Each structure stands twice: as structure tokens, then as C-alpha cells.
Amino acid sequence: MGRRRRRRRVDPADAARALPEAIAALSQTLPAGPSPETFRRAKFDRPEAAPALWRLLFRVLSPQLADGASASFSPEAQVRSVKLALRTQGYPRRALAQLPDDGSQGGRELLLALAWLLARGPLPERLLTQNRVQLGDEMPVCECEALASPGPPAPSVEADGCVDIRHLQWLMGKLRFRWRNLMASQQEQCALLGKIHSYTRGCHSDRSLGHLSVTETELLRDPEGGRQLLRRLERENARLQAALEWRRRELVFWRWMVGGRGPQWSAARTALREAVGQDLAALRQACERGGGCSLAQPHGPHRLVRTEAGAPGGPGLRAPEVIEALRSQEARLEVVLRQLQGQCRQELARLVGAPPGPVWILPPGR
């Protein structure tokens, strides 16, 4: 157990500074982060700290909201939203739900909640990723993100009642039409991107990129927009820097949060939990990376770069490889769909009954 633990001889003055510096970094990397002093007050459950922490948790738990949009939610609405979000994520402590909705109390509990969120995953990085400034023309090389979005909410009991199956057929037709439109628009956008990339070749200071993206060209066309983009970029840089600082210093924060270990903890039990936890995490990571399996494919949005014909190009994915991977995905999915449809055909044939039932003439052209 002691193998992984590092004991450091720390100068008391450094130790005293370390915690506020860690919290300052945390506060700067999170959106709407309160001051280190507020954090300290929260730990002692001072009431004046509570509103700031409710606001912080609201921003952190609803990152899809634009920067100024939080203001349109009343304090009570923010409190309720935070409680719901934490409950959905499995927050283990009952005390949070019992805090008053007016947001006047609960600094200490909220601090625990924030720490709980931070402990479970790379929260600052995730928030930064979700709202990051996109400078390039990006295309995801997989459909992970789209698929990860939740389906429709379970439909509530409505007065609508029954629905005609022909309405479903109509909806299906509408869906097909939308996909066709989407395809056409997408092709046009690619053609335009191709032109913009061509026309600005050699303009980028970064040689590995070569040409400008739409965003970069747009900032040249629209100086005011360009200034705003630059400001956003600089703000993001500050938060990124703070996130790196936080990662360097966060240990002292965790020691502050954990405090002394309670009497019910035994060294052996701790070691066991650690070991199991690490194994699970490693297994999870291996699964997530697709560990060596041929199906593993790159993931996430990539910046599009147009290379000149014949030029070898630098680091990065090549389009032909992605196309190959997508083609095999397409083929596999088509097989699945056809199999499902085949199952339906068999099942329906069975339900209708063998001859001498009615004769089914299938539509031509398959």
C-alpha cells in the first residue's frame, strides 16, 4: 500500500498557500467559479457562501446553457434543477435533497456535492470540451456522439389517445424526405468547404494546416466577429491554463476534503478497494479504447485539412481510411437491417397463416 504513496516534506508556508492556490485554479477553470474565500466559508457552512455555490453547481450541471442564460432561471429554479441533476447522477447523500429551495443554506453540503462531481470524472476538462471554441471545420469520424444522446422521454399520458397507423406511415415518409434533404445540403456544404479551402491555400501560419477554415476566413471578413472570437479564445486559454494548474495542485484539495480517516477504515480494506477500483478502471479504459480489436476506430471530431494532390501530408487521419471504415460499417448495418426485416416477414407470414390463406404478392424490385 505504501508503494504508491509519496510522503513529502512540506514547508509550512508552502502548505498554507497550496490550498488556496489549488482552489483558485479550480475556481478559474470552472464557469462561474467563486473565490477561494467563498469555498472556505462553505466548508464552515456559512450561509453567505450558499448562493454562490448553488449558482456554480447550476452552471456545472447544465453546461449546454449559453453563458448568460443562467440569469433567466430564478434561484429557486436553479436549486431545484441542481437537486434533480444530482439525484439523477446518483448523488449518495440525503442531506442535499433536504436543503431549502430558496438557496439560503447548504454551503457545506454543496461543497461536498462539487467535490463528489470532481472525484467521479474529469469535470473541468469535460466542461471545457463541451463548450470549446472551434477554429477549424470539423467532422466527426464516428457516430458515437449522436448515438449517445438519450432517446425520447417516456411519453406522458396524453389526451391524444389512439393513432392511425397511416399517420405512422406518413411520419416515416416525412423522415425519408428529411434525410434526402440532409444529404443534399451536406453535399453542397462539402463543395463549398472544398472551394474555401482551395482558395485560401498557403494562408495559414501553421504549415500542417495550410489553408484557412471557414471560421478563420470569416473572422477576416467580419472584423467585429473576429474580435469576439479572439476574446472567446483568450478566455478559453485562461481556463485551460487553470485546468492544468488544478491538475497539478488538486491533491492538497482532496486531502482537505477527506480530512482524517474515520475509525471504521482499515488499511487493508482501503488497499483492496483501491486495487479493485484500479483494475475496473483499467478494464473500462481497455474496453473503451477498443483494445486491439479490428473494429477500433478513431473517434471524435477532426479538423478538415485539404492537401494538395500528390503531397504526402503530415500527421492525421486520411480520408480514404475513414471512408473504408465507414463503408464496412454501412455494409454491416445494412445486413442487420435486412435481417430484421426478414424476421418480420417470416413472423407476419406465420401470423397470417399458411395457404389456403390469402395470397401475398410482395412488391417488386428487391
Partner 1 sequence: MDTAFTLLAGSSRRLVAELRDALDSCAERQRQLERSLRVSRRLLRAWEPAETLAPEPTPGPETNEEAPSAACIPSPQDLKELELLTQALEKAVRVRKGISKAGEGNKAPSLKSGSIATSPATRASYPPSTSHRAGSRASETKPPRGILQTRVPTKDLPERRLLSVGDQACMGQGAGATKPKSGLRNEQIVLSAASQAPEAFTLKDKGILLQLPEAFRKAASRNSRLWAQLSSTQTSDSVDAATTAKTQFLQKMQTTSGWPGPRLSATEVEAEVRHLQKACLLLRLRMGEELTAVVEQQLGPWPEGRFPRASLPCGGGADPIWSPQLLLYSSTQELQTLAALRLRVAMLHQQIHLEKVLMAELLPLVSKQEPLGPPWLALCRAVHSLLCEGGQRFLTILREDKPAD
Binders in 222-241 for partner 1, by CB under 8 A: 222-224, 226-227, 229-230, 233-234, 236-237, 240-241
Q: Provide DSSP, 264-298.
A: T--HHHHHHHHHHHHHHHHHHHHHHHTTT-TT---
Among 14, 74, 100, 176, contact with partner 1 (rule: CB under 8 A) = 176
Among 10, 16, 171, 282, contact with partner 1 (rule: CB under 8 A) = 171
By rule CB under 8 A, what string of x and - marks binding of each residue 47-86 to partner 1? ----------------------------------------
List b or e across 231-261, with b for residues whose CB sees 16 or more CB atoms inside 10 angstroms.
eeeeeeeebeebbebbeebbebbeebeeeee
**CB of residue 74 to partner 1, shortest distance in Å:** 26
3-state DSSP assignment of residue 140: strand
288: cell is 473503451
| Contact window for partner 1 (CB under 8 A) among 32-40, 42-50, 60-68, 172-180 | 172-180
The amino acid at 202: G
| Contact window for partner 1 (CB under 8 A) among 41-49, 56-64, 99-107, 110-118 | 110-118
Distance in angstroms (rounded) separating the CA atoms of residues 4 and 277: 14
The residue written with cell numbers 447550476 in the block is 58
| Contact window for partner 1 (CB under 8 A) among 35-43, 56-64, 100-108, 125-133 | 125-133
- Total residues in contact with partner 1, by rule CB under 8 A: 191
Among 12, 68, 92, 263, contact with partner 1 (rule: CB under 8 A) = 92
30: cell is 470552472
Among 13, 66, 268, 295, contact with partner 1 (rule: CB under 8 A) = 295
Among 261, 272, 279, 282, contact with partner 1 (rule: CB under 8 A) = 261
Burial (0-12, 13-18, 19+ Cβ within 10 Å), 52 = buried
Is residue 217 part of the contact set for partner 1 (CB under 8 A)? yes
